[in-house]
Structure 1
């Protein structure tokens, strides 16, 4: 932990997945509540099947979910959320004729049920 789950619609061509993950990871790694950069894990999924609202043509989205071990302050979570949103605004290419929605969600993981190990 932390875990970054990134999803985006396939109609958003030109999105550099590796660079986006690098920039998002950098935001989380730089936060003072994250003590080991090797704990920050990102994955990205391009969605070929999606439906947005009642009129899905020419719409797309990028959504980031950040999962953190429970216990961080609301301020710390807000700082990370704001940093991730800033990366999305900067890194997601604009597409003429496509309304793109950007979103970030920060969720707590339960300490009692979370397992982490290293090999």
Structure 2
């Protein structure tokens, strides 16, 4: 179920496939689910305004949505390990200040539904 959204500044370099190839097994190992259940979407934001608007700043905001029920310790470990992975993969322009953030969000089990089907 993990649904991951990565929003990034337009000037930031992030090799999406290698990042996701490391991210999915990491998430799966921390929360105890199959990596095949992870889904990540990447969004290059049109414009970022950070702090006072100084243009030499870049950011990545990463959100991981999980079915509710995991402990605070598991969510903290997940956020810390994903942040370390982001630090490894996110490459700002020379001279830019890089802001990274990870948030783990609970999804209500009672209202969540999904469907998976093969092409016909």
Q: Compute the TM-score of the two structures, normalised by the length of structure 1.
A: 0.89
Give 1:116 deviation, angstroms: 1.5
Are the aligned partners of 1:70 and 1:108 in contact in 2 as well (CA < 8 Å)?
yes
Contact 1:21 1:43 in 2 (8 A): no
Kept in 2, the 8 Å contact 1:58–1:97? The answer is: yes
SS in 2 for 1:43: strand
Cα RMSD over matched residues? 1.4
**1:94-113 alpha-carbon deviations (Å, 9 max, x no partner):** 43221110110000001111
Deviation string, structure 1 residues 2-22 (Cα, Å, up to 9, x no partner): 11110110111x321111222
For 1:1-119, what aligned pairs fall within 5 Å after superposition?
1-12=1-12, 14-31=13-30, 33-119=31-117
**Could you list the runs of 5+ residues in structure 1 that have no partner in the other structure?**
none
Aligned length: 117
| Runs of 4 or more above 6 Å deviation | none
Is there any run of 5+ residues in structure 2 with no aligned partner, and where? none
Matches of 1:67 and 1:56, distance apart in 2: 31
Match of 1:15, SS state, is coil
**TM score, norm. by length of structure 2:** 0.88
